[in-house]
Amino acid sequence: MTDILQKLPFKITQLGIQSPEEVENIFAELRAAFDRELGEKHDIEGLEGIRIRWRGRKGLDRLLRDNWLKPESKFKPAVGKAYNDFKDYVESSLALRLQHLRAQEESREMAAEGVDLTLPGLAARRGARHLVTQTLEEICDIFARIGFSVVEGPEVETDYYNFEALNIPQHHPARDTMDTLYLDLPARALPEEIRGPRSDPNQFLLLRTHTSPVQIRTMEKQKPPVRVVVPGKVYRRDNPDATHSFMFHQVEGLAVDRDLTFCEFKGAMEYFLREFFGPETKTRFAASYFPFTEPSADLAATCGVCQGSGCSVCKHTGWIELFGAGMVDPAVYGFVDYEPGELSGFAFGMGVERFAMIKYGVDDLQLFFQNDVRFLQQFRR
Amino acid sequence: MKILLQWLKEYVDSGVAPEKLAADLTLAGMAMEGLSETEAGPLLELEITTNRPDLMSHYGVAREVSALYAKPLKPIEPQPVEVADLAAGAAKVEIEAPDLCHRYAALVLCNLKVQPSPEWLRKRLEACGIASINNIVDVTNYVLLELGHPTHAFDLDTLAEKRIVVRAAKAGEKITTLDGVARTLKPHHLVIADAKRPVALAGILGGAAMEISLRTKNVLLESAWFEPVTTRRAAKDLGLRTEASARFERGLDVEAPVRAARRCAELFLELAGGELLSGVIDVYPRRWDVPEITLRQGEILRTLGEALPAALVERLLAALGFVAARADQDSWRVATPSWRRDVSREIDLIEELARHYGYDKFPARLPPARQPVVLRPHAQAEAALRRALEAQGFDEAVCFTPVHPKDAEKFLAPGEELARLRNPISEETSVLRPSGLLSLVETLAWNVNRGQRHLRLYEIGKAYAVREGRFQERRVLTLALTGLLREKSVHEDEQPADFFALKGAVEAALQPFALPPFGFRPCDLACFQSGERATVEAGSQRLGVLGRLSSTLATDFKLRQAAFLAELDLEGLYAARLLAPEYRPVPRFPGVTRDFSLLLDLPVSFGSVRRTIESLGLPELVAVAAVDRFRGGALPADKYSLLVRVTFQSHERTLTDEEIRSASGRIVRALEKELGAKLRA
Ligand SMILES: [Zn+2]
């Protein structure tokens, strides 16, 4: 086979073409010649040389156009089409090869560095703090910023601290809302310093239904001003489901002083909810009743899902009910030998899991206590 | 409480849309629980707090609406027509227990026609969730929903001697109540009896034998006041909460009975014909003294932080039924209406004012800071523990403390008893856990059985037990490891959790605390596998226990892989000071290491090797490390080889070869002499 390239200096009419098929044949030979050259090993520079030779202004293309494309002949249309196809083929082949060479070059650079950058890094795995602890700490931290100290107390309590000193005597209807788990032990089983002089030693011990007993214990030990929050576990005789648990966590708080009014109460609560849920949060104070506060309020915040316009999460009210609070009922001061006429204060109590559920959209309370690591590790920080 | 808005409108017209009314009532303390459409029109469901039995009626809610919107409240003044015959001649009432029944009023009606109620009455009752029975019973229920005071109609002709005696039940006395249940009574239950037997449980439910039937013609209508705690205890004992008991147990209006009875009579005459005998049989042994409360502007300001205009105070109090008279420029004497037994103090009045003025109208102000904030005494210690453990990859668990006694017993220390609950929800949660170990074993099993096999967990919580009759609640830190510490990857081989990983975690937990030097000693705790269990002690103080979970317990808890657990006593740790970092000069001269390949008898521990070396008191000795340990192969069965690396360093100069040689020689001689060690080639 003669080298097709040697035919290029001749006019197409000189090549003795007899049919359109022969036109296609010579172009096929031309394409084969180009393929052979491209098939040799090249770097990007070498590829540029091929481009100039085949497509450059003074290269083979010029011969092609001058000698084969331009002369008039009865095969001119066939030549025109074949030329265009060939030109497209050359251009796209060069572009493809260039792309390929560039990619090769990049991976060569990478290989030169010695590591596969796509492999994962090597790091020690940090543990995740439980969402309950995180939320409880966040609540306490916010109150610490406005002057509240943190105190704790026992989970097993006497009837006196859990109910009586909070103005909830025996047979008070409010006891119904806090079904209580009792221990099979009389109060005298508690060390005296915890039992206190006012607890009946023969009454059964109980698992505290709220952390409020610690507020009483604090007031017994400390004269006003008092500003405390009390985090901890509390227990109710509730059957477990997606929103109930016989054990959960609360943060309750208490402020007693000479100058605290309903306005300071509102200020502290609004500050807390804005810090916890975000600066746009609005707070609703609805009148309510608790034996140890008066006036009492149920607090709600604007629904974070619909921003208050109403959705299924907030039952179309625009509000998410959060917790109970109010001004300390003066009757409570009598139990801790405070002077009611001179003092005032406010108290509040919130469920930690409920706050976490609202903030993170967790839909089942039981998840908090199953401790499935696939749940726990979602809250790693 | 279910409130029909059309019914409410008969007493007051709020002039606002139902949604607005619901929102406003919510703010005023009657939380909206639902708003729906019924055959009797729109129905509003309100949550009534336990202190407000007066709101368990349409008229009670109407009074609040009237105060909220300053709209007139229509009075209810029943005027039933009486015949000449005296009620007192037809029946007798005696109260034997005046402390428990402050008032008993009765009306007598004759020749009534018992029949189905008209449609309007049936629809209203049914919309409020009460089934229609007959016109007589329906009227008593209607008046209950209207005025909030329960009444009860007896078939007069079934009452022995037509006599009512209010008395304590006799022990063992029986009554079959309207619901068909035969009940045995106790002496603290209050009953309504006739001359022979109990005919009703006071304030709770009537007896079946005196029920109004189609044959009934003559009725004795009871409208009484029963003491709340007695009613409440009896209802609880008998497991019988009724519309009546739910109201009596919260303290009803002792001035309401006659009006409620007359309202019933009015409706009886309208719907059942008949005649009302004249007069009310009204036995009222314990009169209610109207409390008078002093209300001071100064106290309003001191409590609420805002002064309220006197005119507003007077308008709101009047609208709610209080009678306020100016005592002086800045105070009032306020008489409380009989239906507001919850109001007896100045603060109660202030709450009423705040509620109706609107909580939302008070400005919010941050309370002034008064003293430095004190975090919990051990807050820093706990934070140090959490940092140490989380840095080692431990995830925190929070576990239930009530547990199953059968599991709890396995973790009970000698001399301790379980703290049991009297009224547990279930057997599985009937004791308090004696140890955190139990909770983490369960947590490991939960996760492993769900395909999560490589776990590091910690929990900070409490353990509870009874020791010599004394209840103890102590803080504990529990650690658990199982599976792989590290899974195989392109970078590293896998590393299984083992006893030493646990020991390392325990050491890391103890590291922040200024404790006497602590050590690990073998122990015989049954929950751990023998040979891989220890106590950790500092001086005479036991800080905790650790080990590999015994195979028996692993099987019991369906945990099919090795688990390593520790429990540390936090009371002990929190009693210790936190270590502060201490500066020491950084060595300026290089350290030198020497390796000693020792052949040791099996009972000789690395610890005794280290102690022997340290007791030489070499001034340049810096560290003694175990680098390799080998048993078996060509070694005798009772021996093992240990490669020990000793580091020497001086702060004054570079050590000479001669000095190192001399020190090494002393080490080898001591190990040979004290421990029978042989230096291997
Ligand atoms: Zn919403």
Orientation angle between helical segments B58-69 and B135-147, nearest 10 degrees? 30
Contacts with B470 from chain A: Cβ below 8 Å: 189-191
Domain presence at residue B363? no
* Nearest by CB: B50 against A127, A289, A370: A289
Instruction: Give the sheet arrangement for strand B205-206, strand by strand.
Output: B92-95, B163-168, B190-193, B198-201, B205-206
Distance from Cα A359 to the centre of ligand 1, integer Å? 13
> How many structural domains comprise chain B?
5
Contacts with B389 from chain A: Cβ below 8 Å: 127
Co-location of B599 and B667 in the same domain: yes
Using DSSP's 3-state secondary structure scheme, residue B467 falls into strand
Domain presence at residue B337? yes
pLDDT classification of A1: cutoffs 50, 70, 90: very low
Q: Do B27 and A284 touch (CB under 8 A)?
A: yes
Distance from Cα A310 to the centre of ligand 1, integer Å? 4
Average pLDDT over residues B51-56: 95
pLDDT for residue B618: 92
pLDDT for residue A8: 83
CATH classification at residue A239 = 3.30.930.10
Domain presence at residue A166? no
Co-location of A248 and A337 in the same domain: yes
Co-location of B523 and B612 in the same domain: no
* Nearest by CB: B423 against A132, A182, A266: A182
* Nearest by CB: B359 against A297, A371, A373: A297
Contacts with B305 from chain A: Cβ below 8 Å: 261-264
Using DSSP's 3-state secondary structure scheme, residue B678 falls into strand
Quick: pLDDT tens for A289-299. Answer: 999 999 999 99
pLDDT for residue A113: 67
Alpha helix ranges (H) inside chain A: 20-39, 44-55, 60-63, 76-113, 131-145, 159-162, 192-195, 212-221, 262-277, 330-335, 352-360, 367-370, 373-376
Q: Do B354 and A148 touch (CB under 8 A)?
A: no
Q: Is the pLDDT of residue B376 over 50?
A: yes
Q: Which residue has the higher pLDDT, B569 or A60?
A: B569
- Taking the Cβ of residue A128 and every Cβ of chain B, the question of whether any pair is shorter than 8 Å is answered with yes
> Looking at chain A, which residue has its C-alpha nearest residue B442?
A370
* CA distances from residue A23 to A36, A64, A77, A97 in whole angstroms, order as listed: 20, 13, 10, 27
In the listed set B37, B69, B101, which residue is the last one of a domain according to the structure? B69
* Nearest by CB: B421 against A144, A183, A376: A183
Residue type, A251: V
Q: Do B250 and A173 touch (CB under 8 A)?
A: yes
Residues in chain B: 681
Domain presence at residue B303? yes
Co-location of A84 and A230 in the same domain: no
Quick: pLDDT tens for B624-654. Answer: 999 999 998 888 989 999 999 999 999 888 9
Instruction: For chain B, count helices (H), then strands (E).
Output: 19, 36
Domain presence at residue B518? yes
CATH classification at residue B105 = 3.50.40.10
Co-location of B224 and B134 in the same domain: yes
Q: Is the pLDDT of residue B254 over 80?
A: yes
pLDDT for residue A65: 87
* Nearest by CB: B429 against A191, A246, A380: A246
Domain presence at residue B145? yes
* Nearest by CB: B398 against A262, A268, A368: A368
Nearest to A295 by CA among B334, B358, B323: B358
pLDDT for residue B232: 92
Q: Is the pLDDT of residue A114 over 80?
A: no
Co-location of B98 and B200 in the same domain: yes
Buried b (16+ CB within 10 A) or exposed e, B378-405: beebbebbbebbbebbbbbbbbbbbbbb
Co-location of A137 and A52 in the same domain: no
Residue A199: φ, ψ to 5°: -80, 140
Average pLDDT over residues B148-156: 96
Domain presence at residue A57? yes
pLDDT classification of A118: cutoffs 50, 70, 90: confident
Co-location of B222 and B128 in the same domain: yes
Residue type, B448: V
* CA distances from residue A33 to A38, A45, A82 in whole angstroms, order as listed: 9, 20, 15
CA distance A86 to B130: 93
pLDDT for residue A2: 59
Co-location of B481 and B521 in the same domain: yes
Confirm if B87 and B106 have CB atoms less than 8 A apart. yes
Q: List the Cα angle A367/A369/A371 in 5-degree steps.
A: 75
Minimum distance, in Å, between the CA of residue A304 and any CA atom of chain B: 19
* CA distances from residue A206 to A180, A197, A349, B401, B424 in whole angstroms, order as listed: 7, 17, 19, 14, 11
CA distance B241 to B203: 10
Handedness of CA B290, B294, B300, B302 (dihedral sign): negative
Average pLDDT over residues B31-53: 94
Co-location of A106 and A138 in the same domain: no
pLDDT for residue A110: 67
pLDDT for residue A56: 86
Tell me B423's DSSP state: S
> How many structural domains comprise chain A?
2
B676: left (phi over 0), alpha (psi -120 to 50) or beta: left
- Taking the Cβ of residue A332 and every Cβ of chain B, the question of whether any pair is shorter than 8 Å is answered with no
Quick: pLDDT tens for A126-183. Answer: 999 999 999 999 999 999 999 999 999 999 999 999 999 998 988 787 777 778 999 9
Minimum distance, in Å, between the CA of residue A102 and any CA atom of chain B: 29
CA distance B634 to B681: 14
Average pLDDT over residues B527-537: 95
CATH classification at residue B634 = 3.30.70.380
Burial (CB < 10 A; 0-12, 13-18, 19+), residue B377, is exposed
Average pLDDT over residues B561-569: 97
* CA distances from residue B337 to A13, B255, B547 in whole angstroms, order as listed: 124, 9, 70
Q: How many CB atoms lie within 10 A of CB B15?
A: 10
Co-location of B227 and B353 in the same domain: no
Q: For chain A, what is the mean pLDDT?
A: 90
Q: Is the pLDDT of residue A112 over 80?
A: no
pLDDT for residue B495: 94
Domain presence at residue A206? no
Q: How far apart are the first and last CA of chain A?
A: 74
Tell me B20's DSSP state: H
Quick: pLDDT tens for A196-236. Answer: 999 999 999 999 999 999 999 999 999 999 999 999 999 99
Q: Using omega within 30 degrees of 0 as the cis cutoff, is the peptide bond preceding B337 cis?
A: no
CA distance A151 to B522: 38
Per DSSP, what are the bridge partners of residue B278?
B86
Q: Is the pLDDT of residue A115 over 80?
A: no
Domain presence at residue B141? yes
Instruction: Provide the chain B residues 420-459 that lie in CB contact (below 8 A) with chain A.
Output: 420-425, 429, 432, 443, 446-447, 450, 452, 455-458
Mutate which of A134, A226, A262, A298 to test chain B, going by most B C-beta atoms within 10 A? A262
Quick: pLDDT tens for B91-142. Answer: 999 999 999 999 999 999 999 999 999 999 999 999 999 999 999 999 999 9
Co-location of A26 and A138 in the same domain: no
> Looking at chain B, which residue has its C-alpha nearest residue A258?
B302
Q: In terms of residue numbers, what domain contains B165? A: 82-283
Co-location of B119 and B58 in the same domain: no
Pairing of strands B323-328, B331-335: antiparallel
Confirm if B439 and B416 have CB atoms less than 8 A apart. no
Co-location of B507 and B604 in the same domain: no
Close Cβ partners of B185 (under 8 Å, ≥ 6 residues apart): B169, B170, B171, B172, B173, B174, B175, B191, B198, B201
Quick: pLDDT tens for B179-231. Answer: 999 999 999 999 999 999 999 999 999 988 888 999 999 999 999 999 999 99
Mutate which of B380, B471, B485, B493 to test chain A, going by most A C-beta atoms within 10 A? B471
Contacts with A259 from chain B: Cβ below 8 Å: 368
Confirm if A274 and A142 have CB atoms less than 8 A apart. no
Minimum distance, in Å, between the CA of residue B400 and any CA atom of chain A: 7
Domain presence at residue A236? yes
Tell me B511's DSSP state: T
CA distance B357 to B315: 11
Nearest to B481 by CA among B357, B397, B371: B397
CA distance B379 to B396: 17
Q: Do B490 and A119 touch (CB under 8 A)?
A: yes
CA distance B80 to B274: 12
Domain presence at residue A124? no
Q: Do B446 and A370 touch (CB under 8 A)?
A: yes
Q: How many CB atoms lie within 10 A of CB A245?
A: 20
Residue B567: φ, ψ to 5°: -130, 125
CA dihedral A299, A304, A309, A311 (to 10 degrees): -100
CA distance A140 to A144: 6
Q: Is the pLDDT of residue A36 over 60?
A: yes
Quick: pLDDT tens for A283-339. Answer: 999 999 999 999 999 999 999 888 888 888 888 888 999 999 999 999 999 999 998
Q: In terms of residue numbers, what domain contains A10? A: 4-113
Domain presence at residue A294? yes
Alpha helix ranges (H) inside B557-656: 570-575, 606-614
Co-location of B328 and B472 in the same domain: no
Q: Do A171 and B232 touch (CB under 8 A)?
A: yes
Average pLDDT over residues A45-70: 87
pLDDT for residue A66: 87
Residue B266: φ, ψ to 5°: -55, -45
Confirm if A336 and A342 have CB atoms less than 8 A apart. no
Co-location of B314 and B441 in the same domain: no
Distance from Cα B23 to the centre of ligand 1, integer Å? 15
pLDDT classification of B681: cutoffs 50, 70, 90: low
pLDDT for residue A46: 87
Q: Which helix (H) or strand (E) holds B440?
A: helix B436-448
Distance from Cα A308 to the centre of ligand 1, integer Å? 6
| Side-chain-facing half-sphere of B537: CA atoms under 13 Å | 10
pLDDT for residue A178: 75
Co-location of B51 and B89 in the same domain: no
Contacts with B393 from chain A: Cβ below 8 Å: 124-127
- Taking the Cβ of residue B469 and every Cβ of chain A, the question of whether any pair is shorter than 8 Å is answered with yes
